[in-house]
Structure 1
Amino acid sequence: MWRRYLMWFAHEHVDFRNSEIQSIISLFNIPMKFIETPCVQKPYWIVELPTEECVKKIASRSVLLKNCIELWSRAKTEEQLHQNLRSALQNKSGTWLGTSSHNVDSHVCPSELIEGCCPADKSFKVEVETFCKHFTMKEKVTKIESFSYLPLEGPVKLKDPDITLSYMEFYGSDPNNVPELPYDLFFGRLIADGQRDLIQVHSLKKREFIGNTSMDAQLAIIMANQAKVNDGDLVLDPFVGSGSLLVAAAHFGAYVWGSDIDFMMLHGRTRPTRFGQKVRTKEESILGNMRQYGSAGRYLDVLVSDFSRPLWRPGLAFDAILTDPPYGVREPTEKIGIERDNYTLSEAHLVNHIPSKVEYGIPEMYGDLLNFAVRHLRLGGRLVCWYPMVRDEYSGCQLPQHPGLALVGNSEQVLSKLTSRRLLTYEKTSDDVHIEGGTYTGVNFREKYFAVGEQSRRERRERKAEELAANARWRPQTRDLVNKTD
């Protein structure tokens, strides 16, 4: 019999929530039923899953999930919540009451779920959590004592108990308009915590080697989850930079490979990013990061290479490609080339020749990336990449497309009032490596970014000039008024 669970999320990167969880349940082949349609304003989902083990598998991967409880009671008021639990203790039939999709506001679980959870040899504690409202410790204790009628026979243990019971209240998502009473109340047994601790473990503040565009630790783990990275997979980042995505992929057991055109970055010779640091240390490298997290055995290598030129042998297949291509704002979009026609280089200069670079336009770059994914991903493998955009001009038809790839995830991270970027997840659907057709019909983001930025700066200058002019007109009138008053 499937059981009902409450999945409680951190209320950040909300647009990524569905893509991450759907990727995880696809990875583990877990069926899941939604009791009600997820809402971005709510930090929770109510779902049904076949086994408790399924819950633990999801929680073992998700970095957006705070925890998941086996839901014993849900109600709109405290009185109804306790009434549901008392009814559950009398429900000896072993079946769920009021669990149809037409009755999601309250339900009663079988009595054995409550009676069998806290025997005398098991310690327990009750936690109180609220969303959009703060309780004092005294108020929390009062809430906890209201559950004294439950048959909890074991000793109370506040640190690392055998069983944790969770009581949660939801007061909406507007901190400026908090209601007196909660909109929703939940009670149940904690099954598993998510992987929120990885955010601090992999924090860029603690990392040995970082660059100007190192990927945030939480987003890197989300990307690895959406790529369905698993133990033993072969993962590539063709725009590797300082290797943040390799760290996340290796955490889940993948063997990682990277490439980048930036020789200085891959050799740890760029200007230090951290404030106050004058020079980089010898230990700063992508391999140094892998050693820091105990993943050196998963590190294959990184190559200095131009992505626009073929490098990998035909037939080589990766399980996933994770990457954040440069946008031409903080990092240049470059490829090897020269703007002069019919240019030749003498043999005498070949030995010490350093190739010149030209602009690698974003449309061309994304076309190459999708074509590369079709040639070098296994069937069913995933490409997860970022796509920059001007928010007002976004349209789904502008996204990079390829007949051999299906877009299965599209989440937005807002960067500013004007710009954002979308995390796109593609899955390879055709094994015909001869298919070409990677297209990018969007505008040139770099040109639009600076054009919009310049327009915005000009508007600010004009507003400031108008304010100064208004103040100049207002000051004489104020002086006259003061003089008359005197």
Structure 2
Amino acid sequence: MPTKYLVVFAQSHSDFRIPELKSIAELYGFPLLLPDPCDPNRPFMVIELDQEEHARSLAKRCILIKSIHEFYGQGDNYDQLHAAVRKNQALWEQYKQDTSFRFSVAAYNHSITKSRQREVMESFGYMEFLGRIDLKSPTIVLGCYEEYGDTRGKEFSNKVVDGQFRQVYFGRLIEEGSARALIARFDVKKRVYFGNTSMEAEISLLMANQCLSRPGSLVYDPFMGTGSMAYPTSHFGSFVVGSDIDGRQMRGKGKQAGVLRAAAQYGTAHRIVDLLTFDVTRNPWRCGGLFDAIVTDPPYGVRAGAKRLGRRRSPTAKQLEAYSEHQAAPRPADQPYIPPTKPYELSELARDLVVLARYLLKPEGRLVFFLPTVNDEYEDVDIHSMLCEGMKLIANSLQDFGSWGRRLVTIKKVTSNTYAVPFSDNSGRSQSAVQHEPAHKDFREKYFQGFRKGSTSLDDGVVQ
């Protein structure tokens, strides 16, 4: 029979909480029952799991979990809480006789005075714990949490709101959220190699969880840049292949590639299989079903724009004549040919990425990527319109920046069918007809126009 557990979340990225819980439960292969209705914006959540070890697995891997407790009760006030705890006496009476213990009283969005903390602790006197009180290393920790509403911008003093909580929870600590320590470990500021578009550590770790990074899996990043996705995924045991149209981003300066130097800093350089330079629409993959996951942060033109091979405009007759003359004369060995590139529009890139993922992923493999959107214009069809046969949307989480946001999209390959090599006509476009114009189309132009409706487009190019 499932047991209830109280999850205490870290106060960041609330829209990512449920997808992460579901992903880690799938990664370790155990059932997870969420409350109905389920509000991801609440700082506490009561879930159901079959085993205590499953709760420990969540706490050790989920980046957004501060702690998990065996759930004893909750209530709108302390009378309701105590009544619930008494009903669950079978869960805690085994600790009454000789177990060392400690009480912890805390609150979300509020500071509880020490005098009232003591008052709350004493209200649980009916539990009659006879063991030794140990503040440093107790056998069990009993946690009481009060949830207060958001009072930002409201003129409330601490004394007025004290005790006027929304809900109060109580339980026994199972495991502290140890995965959050990885945020400091992968802090970009401490990294030996990074760039102006490097993904922040917490988000890259969330992406690694969404792609089910695990020992022995093979992960591909088609827009690797400075390698932000490679480090957390390789830390969790995955082998990583990265590519980019501009190899300078991966190489950096120095004898050893910058991505490899940073991976060596984390002790995972041996899991970086290779770094490749090519246009993703003219990729060398001639065998599908290679990768367990594709995880990437495609450039969308705010700090760096996506590029693909080709010319912005068709060459003139004069240019073609000059090109023919140039071809007739041998090129000096120290002057390699650098092919021209043109901007890669975001909505086109997103559709192509899904088609490429369908070809390259193993069945049940995941594609995880960020997609910037204009919040006022966004509709769910924007995401669904980029899907193709055999690909299913798993999660769509928003990181809100006000007028715009970026969505962490997780798509699973749900077919074992074999598909032809994408972009075989070198067009770079998916073969399905586009019937919907999503809000993220021409995102760069909208961004620099301040998201004004009816604004004129800017010239395409890379923002330096």
Whether these two folds match at TM > 0.5 is yes
Q: CA RMSD in A?
A: 2.6
Q: CA deviation at 1:113?
A: 2.0
* Structure 1 residue 350 displacement after superposition: 7.7
How many angstroms apart in 1 are the aligned matches of 2:90 and 2:398? 44
Partner of 1:444: 442
User: Who is 1:379 aligned against?
Assistant: 363
Q: 1:374 to 1:80 in 2, by over 3 A?
A: closer
Deviation of the 1:392 alpha carbon: 1.5
Letter aligned with residue 410 of structure 1: N
2:95 is the counterpart of 1:117: yes
Q: Which residue of 2 aligns with 1:139?
A: 116
1:449-460 mapped onto 2 (5 Å cutoff): 449-452=447-450
> How many Å separate the matches in 2 of 1:282 and 1:131?
50
Equivalent position of 2:423 in the other structure: none
Q: For structure 2, which runs of at least 5 residues remain unmatched after alignment?
A: 421-429, 457-464
Q: Aligned residue for 1:308? A: 281
Partner SS, residue 72 of structure 2 = strand
Alignment of 1:31-430 (within 5 A): 31-85=31-85, 88=86, 108-109=87-88, 111-117=89-95, 120=98, 122-176=99-153, 179-180=161-162, 181-194=164-177, 195-269=179-253, 285-338=258-311, 339-341=313-315, 346=327, 348-349=330-331, 351=333, 352-399=336-383, 400-415=386-401, 417-430=402-415
8 A contact 2:289–2:363 mirrored in 1? no
- State the alpha-carbon separation in 1 of the partners of residues 24 and 167 from structure 2: 27
Matched with 1:17 is 17
Give, in whole Å, the separation in 2 of the partners of 1:248 and 1:437.
34
Equivalent residues, number: 423
Deviates more, 1:389-398 or 1:150-159: 150-159
**TM-score, length-normalised on structure 1?**
0.80
Could you tell me how far apart the structure 1 residues matched to 2:415 and 2:332 are? 42
Cα distance in 1 between the residues matched to 2:133 and 2:48: 30
Q: Deviations for 1:123-170, whole angstroms, at most 9, x for unmatched residues? A: 322111201211233432333333344343433333343321111111
Structure 1 residue 225: Cα displacement: 1.2
Q: In structure 1, what is the Cα distance between the partners aligned to 2:314 and 2:15?
A: 46
- State the distance in 2 between where 1:151 and 1:129 align: 22
Alpha-carbon distance between aligned partners in 2 of 1:388 and 1:313, rounded to the nearest angstrom = 30
Q: Which residue number in structure 2 is paired with residue 276 of structure 1?
A: none
Q: Is the 8 A contact 2:221 2:294 kept in 1?
A: yes
Provide the secondary structure at the position in 2 that maps to 1:214. coil
- Matches of 1:282 and 1:115, distance apart in 2: 64
TM-fit CA distance, 1:258 = 0.6
Structure label with greater radius of gyration: 1
- The offset of 1:172, in angstroms, is 2.0
- Of 138-147 and 162-171, deviating more is 138-147
CA distance in 2, matches of 1:455, 1:282: 48
Shift of 1:431: 2.6
Query: Once the 2 structures are TM-superposed, how far is the Cα of residue 260 of structure 1 from its aligned partner?
Result: 0.9
Q: Which whole-Å CA distance do the structure 1 matches of 2:191 and 2:125 have between them? A: 47
Alpha-carbon shift at residue 251 of structure 1 (Å):
1.8
Give yes or no for contact 2:65–2:180 (8 Å, CA) kept in 1: yes
SS at match of 2:330: helix
Equivalent in the alignment of 1:431: 416
Q: Give the Å deviation of 1:454.
A: 7.5
- Residue 207 of structure 2 aligns to a residue whose secondary structure is helix
* Offset from partner CA, 1:393-437 (integer Å, 9 cap, x none): 11222222211211111111122x322111111000123332664
Q: Tell me if structure 2 keeps the 8 A contact 1:258–1:301.
A: yes
- Return the offset for 1:41: 3.9
Task: Output one character per residue of 1:78-102: Cα deviation in whole Å (capped at 9) or x when no partner.
Answer: 23323443xx3xxxxxxxxxxxxxx
Q: Distance in 2 between matches of 1:363 and 1:217?
A: 26
Aligned-partner Cα distance in 2 for 1:123–1:262: 60
Corresponding letter in the other structure for 1:361: E
Q: Distance in 2 between matches of 1:27 and 1:72?
A: 27
User: For residues 362 and 349 of structure 1, what CA distance do their matches in structure 2 show?
Assistant: 35
1:425 and 1:21 map into 2 onto residues whose CA distance is 14
1:42 and 1:173 in contact (8 A); partners too: no
Amino acid in the other structure paired with 1:328:
G
Point out the more displaced range, 388-397 or 322-331: 388-397
